[in-house]
Amino acid sequence: MEKKFKPNIVGFLCNWCSYAGADLAGSSKTQVDPSLSVIRVMCSSRVNSNLILSSLLWGADGVLVAGCHPGDCHYEQGNYYARRRFALLKKITKILNLEPDRIQLSWISASEGKRYAEIVNQFARDITKKGPNPLTRNSQT
């Protein structure tokens, strides 16, 4: 029953830039890899380690956090905090023995529909290449 591996990717998108960018990708009929499931949050700063770590431990093959470009945050500074928290998390996930690029932070603006598609497709390709998150089958998580 060797089925082609299709990853499960969780994408946290900020409402103002990245979600709008994703919408633009849709309304421009850009093809985007379906393995990413979008979860809308108001600001990338809402996404903290609790959300990302639990996604990973519960078997997400990849987690994408996308927010406004630095300086563009609808709430002025949220994405800077998001970035710091993310930098910390990158360190932490290392000890889970996961490839550090299973989690990704990207800046996607509302006009960057194409970029959204590129980032998601590339990320999905990367994750597919990496194969399933070993934790998906880890009974301890």
Partner 1 sequence: MNKNIGVYVCECGPNIPERIDVDKVVQEMSSMDEVKTVKKFNLMCSNDGKKFLKEEIEKQKLSHVVVAACSPKDHEKTFMSVCQESGLNPYLFQLVNIREQCAWMIPDKEEATSKAVKYIRAGIHRVLYHNPLKKKEIEINTDVLVIGGGLSGIEAALSLAGPKRKVHIIEKTDSLGGMAADLSQVLPHQGSKMDLIKKKVEQLESSEFVNINTFSQVKEVRGFLGNFEAVINTHSGNGGVEEKEIKIGAVIVATGFNLFDLKKNPIYGYGEADNVLNATEFEDMINSEKILLKSGKKPKSVALVHCAGRKEQGYCSKVCCLYNLKFAHYLRDHHPDIEVKELVIDWCLPHKQDQSYFEEAKDKGVDFIRMDELLKTKSTGDQIQIEFKTNDKSHSVSVDMAVVAPAMVPSEDTTKLADILNIPLDKSGFFKELHEMLDPVSTPMEGIYLTGCALGPKNIHESLTQSHATSGKIFSTLVPGRKIEPEVKVSEIKEDLCTGCQTCLSVCFYGAITTDSFKGVSVVNEAICRGCGNCVGSCPSGAIRSKHFTYPQLYQEVLDALR
Partner 2 sequence: MSHQKKEETIIPEKGTVLSAEKGTKRVILDILKKALAENLFDAVLIPAQVPETEAYSWILLQDESLFEWADPLPPVMTVQGGRALSSFSKNGELEQNIAALLRPCEIRAAIELFKLKQVNLKNITLISLDCPGAMPLSNYMSDPQKTKKDFQHILEKWENSESLRPVCQVCQHFSFIDGTAADLHIGLLGDKNKNITLIPSSPKGKKLLDQLEFGTKDSVEKWKTEKQQLANEKIKRIDAFNREWKKKINQANGFFNEFNPCINCHNCMNVCPMCYCQQCYFDSQAINFKPEAYMQKAEQKGALRFPLNTMLFHIGRMSHMVLSCVSCGACEDACPVSIPVSQLFSMVSDQTQKEFKYTPGMNREDALPLQDFTEQEFCEVEVPDECHEKAPEEAK
Partner 3 sequence: MEQQNVLVIGAGVAGMEASLILAEAGLNVHLVEKESLIGGQTIKFEEVYPNMECATCMIAPQQQDVLQNDRINVSLLSKVQSVEGSAGNFKVQVKKKARYVSLINCIGCGACYEPCPVSLGNAFEERMSQKKAIAVACPGALPNAPAIDPEACLRLNGKKKDCSACQEACGFDAIDFSQKDETVELNVGAIIVATGFDQFDVSTLPQYGYGKHPNVYTAMEFERLYAQNGPTEGELTLRQDKPIKSVGIIHCVGRKQEGYCSGVCCMYSMKFAYFIKDKVPDADIHEFHTDLCIPGKSHQKFYNELKDKGVHFCRFEDIKVSGQNGNLQVRSTNSDGKEKSTDTDMVILSPALTPPPDAEILAKSLGIPQDSTGFFSTQNQKLNPIDSEKEGIYVIGCAEGPKDISESVSQAEAAAGRVLSFLQ
Residues that bind partner 2 (CB under 8 A): 49-50, 53-54, 57-59, 69-71, 77, 80-81, 83-92, 95-97, 101, 104-107, 119, 123, 134, 136-141
Binding partner selected for residue 111 from partner 2, partner 3, partner 1, none, CB under the kind-specific 5 to 8 Å limit = partner 3
| Pair 41, 10: CB distance under 8 Å | no
Footprint of partner 1 (CB under 8 A): 8-10, 19-20, 22-23, 25-27, 29-32, 34, 37-43, 45-48, 50-51, 54-55, 58-60, 74-78, 81-82, 85, 117
Binding partner selected for residue 57 from partner 3, partner 1, partner 2, none, CB under the kind-specific 5 to 8 Å limit = partner 2
Binding partner selected for residue 92 from partner 2, partner 1, partner 3, none, CB under the kind-specific 5 to 8 Å limit = partner 2
> Distance (Å, rounded) from C-alpha 58 to C-alpha 54?
6
Q: How many CB atoms lie within 10 A of CB 31?
A: 8
Q: How far is the CB of 34 from partner 2 (least distance, A)?
A: 19
Binding-site string for partner 3 from residue 101 to residue 140, where x marks contact by CB under 8 A and - marks none: --------xxxxxxx-------------------------
* Listed residue (5, 32, 46, 23) closest to 129, CA to CA: 5
Give, in degrees to the nearest 5, the angle at Cα 66 between 46 and 34: 115
> Distance (Å, rounded) from C-alpha 119 to C-alpha 107?
10
Q: How many CB atoms lie within 10 A of CB 111?
A: 12
